[in-house]
């Protein structure tokens, strides 16, 4: 019997060492990969493979899935969480078994949120700009200590919980709100009864909830009006959770003291691109980037060696389980 074979698409330089590591740990499996994305044309590169490993924002269309199915391949492992770009009807039609990596490193995201929040509280960008320009005076760039803040965490799932621990490590008072309370956190008395309670008490408000329709623009003019003056708003979760124009109005009026964002409403096609020699496509985003009390990163909270390793290893592990006819650890159920 010939060796089982896995073909991986869109492997980046930073992923290659982890692919090599997985191959070393599984010498009996044949692993091949390309830096190209999976589409109806590149599907043929996987010919002879038993399963594919993928990660892309590009759609997994009916034609792409059919091209794989025509090669006898219907086991696909995503190295990321999101499955919105998969044609579900086609996946069902061609009998695809799909896995994703729902949890790869909550710390990567929580830590990023904490670092950026602390930076905004200390006016790090303003100080950095002064230092770069040769202005080494202290005033008026005075910081706020994290331990003096009440940090309000909305969503106490995988990432929210780690963020709470980190902020407590700084000495902050942490309060939380979730539609489904975690019993341990509940016993420790973290939860407030309503979002309004959280808005009324928190100096820093950090979102760690999913982008489901009910949560779209949960931060808007109305919710900001209920927040304390000089609030810092943190969104490293998903762009649509925040009405960006409302936050900009808050920043302009001075009500909002700082804004941390790693995700943005219109980020697809803008983030993870080099705009240095091209016309910048989004005036509102350009304005946000220029503001010294806004800490913007292009959806890089997840981008750590630890997280990338987990995304690669878990995806290959899942794929192997499926092609060996076993149950995958994190199957996607449509």
Ligand X SMILES: NC(=O)c1ccc[n+]([C@@H]2O[C@H](COP(=O)([O-])OP(=O)(O)OC[C@H]3O[C@@H](n4cnc5c(N)ncnc54)[C@H](O)[C@@H]3O)[C@@H](O)[C@H]2O)c1
**Largest Cα–Cα distance in the chain?**
74
Q: In the beta sheet, which residues pair with residue 233?
A: 205, 259
DSSP string covering 107-173, please?
Answer: HHHHHHHHHHHHHHHTTHHHHHHHHHTT----TT-----GGGSEEEEE--SHHHHHHHHHHHHTT-E
- Clarify whether 26 is annotated catalytic: no
| By the rule CB under 6 A, 155 interacts with ligand X | yes
The catalytic residue among 15, 238, 265, 309 is 238
- Binding to ligand X, residues 303-322 (CB under 6 A): none
Q: What distance in Å separates the CA atoms of residue 194 and residue 167, rounded to the nearest whole number?
A: 21
Is residue 97 within 8 Å of residue 328, measured between CB atoms?
yes
Among 236, 260, 261, 322, binds ligand X (CB under 6 A): 236
Q: Does 206 bind ligand X (CB under 6 A)?
A: no
- Binding to ligand X by residue 211, rule CB under 6 A? yes
Residues 325, 319: Cα–Cα separation, whole Å: 10
Is 180 a residue that touches ligand X (CB under 6 A)?
Answer: yes
What single DSSP character describes residue 60?
B
Q: Which stretch binds ligand X (CB under 6 A): 116-124, 198-206, 209-217, 265-273?
A: 209-217
Instruction: Determine, following the binding rule CB under 6 A, whether residue 87 of this chain makes contact with ligand X.
Output: no
Does position 157 interact with ligand X (CB under 6 A)? The reply is yes
208 touches ligand X by CB under 6 A? yes
238 is catalytic: yes
Answer whether the bond into residue 53 is a cis peptide, omega within 30°.
no
CA separation, residue 242 to residues 205, 208, 233 (Å) = 12, 12, 10
Of 72 and 269, CB closest to ligand X: 269
Six token digits for residue 89 = 């009807």
Q: Is residue 259 a contact residue for ligand X (CB under 6 A)?
A: no
For 48, other C-beta atoms within 10 Å of its C-beta total 13
Q: How far is the CB of 155 from ligand X (least distance, A)?
A: 3
122 is catalytic: no
Given candidates 50, 203, 238, 260, which one binds ligand X under the rule CB under 6 A? 238
Per annotation, catalytic residue among 299, 306, 309, 327? 299
Note whether 302 binds ligand X by CB under 6 A: yes
Question: What number of chain residues touch ligand X (CB under 6 A)?
Answer: 25
Q: Which of 31, 98, 185, 209 binds ligand X (CB under 6 A)?
A: 209
Q: Is 217 in the site for ligand X (CB under 6 A)?
A: no
Residue 194, Cβ density class (10 Å: 0-12 exposed, 13-18 middle, ≥19 buried): exposed
Chain contacts with ligand X (rule: CB under 6 A) = 109, 154-160, 177-180, 208-211, 215, 236-238, 262-263, 299, 301-302
Instruction: Give the catalytic positions in this structure.
Output: 238, 267, 299
């Amino acid at each position: 019997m010939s060796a089982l074979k896995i073909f991986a698409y869109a492997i980046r330089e930073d992923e290659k060492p982890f692919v090599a590591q997985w191959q070393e740990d599984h010498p009996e499996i044949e692993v091949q990969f390309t830096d190209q994305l999976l589409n109806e044309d590149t599907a043929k590169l996987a010919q002879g493979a038993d399963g594919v490993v993928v990660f892309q924002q590009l759609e997994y269309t009916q034609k792409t899935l059919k091209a794989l199915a025509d090669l006898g391949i219907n086991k696909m492992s995503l190295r990321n969480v999101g499955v919105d770009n998969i044609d579900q009807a086609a996946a069902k039609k061609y009998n695809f078994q799909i896995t994703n990596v729902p949890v790869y490193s909550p710390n990567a995201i929580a830590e990023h949120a904490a670092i950026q929040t602390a930076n905004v509280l200390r006016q790090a960008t303003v100080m950095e700009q002064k230092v770069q320009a040769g202005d080494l005076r202290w005033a008026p760039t005075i910081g706020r200590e994290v331990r003096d803040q009440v940090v309000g965490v909305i969503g106490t799932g995988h990432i929210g919980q780690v963020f709470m621990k980190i902020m407590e490590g700084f000495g902050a008072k942490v309060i939380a709100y979730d539609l489904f309370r975690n019993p341990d956190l509940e016993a420790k008395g973290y939860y407030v009864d309503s979002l309004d309670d959280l808005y009324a008490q928190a100096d820093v408000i950090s979102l760690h909830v999913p982008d489901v329709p009910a949560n779209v623009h949960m931060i808007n003019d109305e919710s900001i009006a209920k927040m304390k003056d000089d609030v810092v708003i943190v969104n490293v979760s998903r762009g649509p959770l925040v009405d960006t124009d409302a936050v900009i109005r808050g920043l302009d009026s001075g009500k909002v003291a700082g804004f941390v964002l790693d995700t943005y409403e219109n980020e697809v096609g803008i983030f993870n691109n080099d705009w240095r020699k091209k016309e910048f496509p989004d005036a509102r985003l350009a304005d946000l980037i220029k503001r010294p009390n806004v800490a913007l990163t292009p959806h890089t909270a997840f981008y750590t060696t630890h997280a990338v390793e987990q995304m690669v290893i878990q995806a290959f592990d899942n794929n192997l389980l499926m092609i060996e006819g076993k149950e995958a650890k994190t199957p996607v159920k449509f």
